[in-house]
Structures are given as structure tokens and as C-alpha cells.
Amino acid sequence: MPDTVYFFGTCLIDTLFPRAGLAAMQLLRRAGVRVIFPQGQTCCGQPAYNSGYRDEARAVARAQLDAFPADLPVVVPSASCAGMLRVQYPLLFADTADAARAEAFAGRVVELADFLVRVLDVRLIDLGPPIRVAVHNSCSARRELGVADATMDLLGRLARVELVEPERAAECCGFGGAFSVKQPEISAAMAGDKARAILATGAAVLVGQDCGCLMNLGGTLARQGGGPLVRHLAEFIWERTHRDD
């Protein structure tokens, strides 16, 4: 088991979900792992990459290669950003002078739930009341990284949590980064379908590992008149398993 890891915070956690980032680092530290947060880290480069700006994406990505130099795991509390770092960086730098460096970096990237389950095999003591929770696994978690099972496994370790996957669970929420900007009507329709399926579960909380999805679904649920609380996976688990003494 590694005793030290890097932590990649992601833009959306930094700007909109800071408590999720802090919770993720607290979960790692409680498991006995020292967490290094490189101050030089920025965006993973996904917005530029998905919009076709390869040179600009490489400039941002190269800064991340520089920011995480040691041979340590890079834990990411987002399947989308982890997918960019792990799957897309080698493609982005193929046939460049940084190809080998990008391959080595990608091999160290691990999504948070996958790391907590597969590497640390964490034990969770559930301190909260019985609750029904709807789970949203992002497209990146399901298809790009294949870590959706780790999310369910991790949440399943909370004894008083009843997990439900809404209908249309495998469908995109409609966010898709630039897709929601370029195709707002289609994006809104997709999110509306997902929100109605989530409401039908009767869950008190919606949990996911990608802030873009949570932001999109949370906003749609609010416009439909309410619904479950929306929590990042790390923040939800920390709230259920931590007690201030």
C-alpha cells in the first residue's frame, strides 16, 4: 500500500465543490496515507481538448506533467478528469518529446473510489441514520475508466445506506462538458429525463463522483421543484463516517 499520494483537485471542485476535495483528502489521510497537493496544478486540459484545441490542451497538460514529478499515485476525485489524465494524455502527446513522460504519468493516475476500494480496501463505519441514496455514475466512470463498480462497492460499505440506481442509469446526464454549451436543448432534455428517473426513486440524496454531472442534475432537479440533496461521493462518505469530538 502506498504511504504517500499526490492529489489532483480538479477545477470544478476548486471553484464550486471545495468541501468535496477536502473530504477526499480527509478520507485518504484517515486511511493512513500522506497527501501531497502540488500548488502548481491547474486544469487537466479537458475543455480545450474536447473543443479541438490540441496545442492549447498540450500546454495545460504539460504543466500537470511538471507539477507531479515523483513516482507516486495521482488520486483524482473525478472520473472525467482522471480519464483525461489517464486515457487521453498518452494520445495527446503521442509522437512528441513528452510521449514517454505522459505514458508514465498516466500509469500513476487513479480515480478516488477505485483507489479507496482496490488499493486501500477501506473499512467504513456508518454513523448516519438509515437513508436511501440514488447513485449517478458518470459516463467516464462507466465507459472510459470502468470504475462504476468501485463506486457501488464503496457506498455499499455504509451499513445504513440503501443504494438505488435510477432508470436510465447508464445514459449520459447531458452535461458532457462543451456538449451542454454547444447543444443546450438536447442537453436539457437528457438532464430532464434523468432528473425524473432520480425523483422516482424517492431517494433523499443523489451521490456521484463527477461535479459536472452533479451540477447539471442538481440544477435540473431544482428547476423541477426540488428533489434529493446532491453530494459528491467523497463529501457524502466523509459526512457519514466522521464525528467531531
**Neighbouring C-beta atoms of residue 96, cutoff 10 Å:** 12
Q: Helix or strand or coil: residue 169? A: coil
Pair 104, 65: CB distance under 8 Å: no
Q: Which amino acid is at 111?
A: E
Task: Check pLDDT > 90 for residue 85.
Answer: yes
**Neighbouring C-beta atoms of residue 121, cutoff 10 Å:** 11
Q: Which amino acid is at 28?
A: L
Q: For residue 67, what pLDDT is reported?
A: 98
**pLDDT, tens digit, 9 for 90 and up, residues 5-32:** 999 999 999 999 999 999 999 999 999 9
How crowded is the C-beta side of 193, counted as CA atoms within 13 Å? 14
Q: Report the chain's C-alpha Rg in angstroms.
A: 18
Supply the DSSP symbol for 38: -
Task: Check pLDDT > 90 for residue 244.
Answer: no
Average pLDDT over residues 168-174: 90
Q: For residue 140, what pLDDT is reported?
A: 95
User: How are beta strands 34-36 and 205-208 bridged, if at all?
Assistant: unpaired
Tell me the percentage of the chain whose pLDDT exceeds 70. 100
CATH 3.30.2010 fits 124-240, yes or no: no
Phi-psi region of 177 (alpha: psi -120 to 50; beta: other; left: phi over 0): left
**Neighbouring C-beta atoms of residue 200, cutoff 10 Å:** 12
Pair 159, 123: CB distance under 8 Å: no
Burial class (CB in 10 A: 0-12, 13-18, 19+), 174: buried
Average pLDDT over residues 223-231: 88
Global pTM value: 0.95
Task: Check pLDDT > 90 for residue 177.
Answer: no
Q: For residue 61, what pLDDT is reported?
A: 98
Domain with CATH 3.40.50 in the chain: 124-240
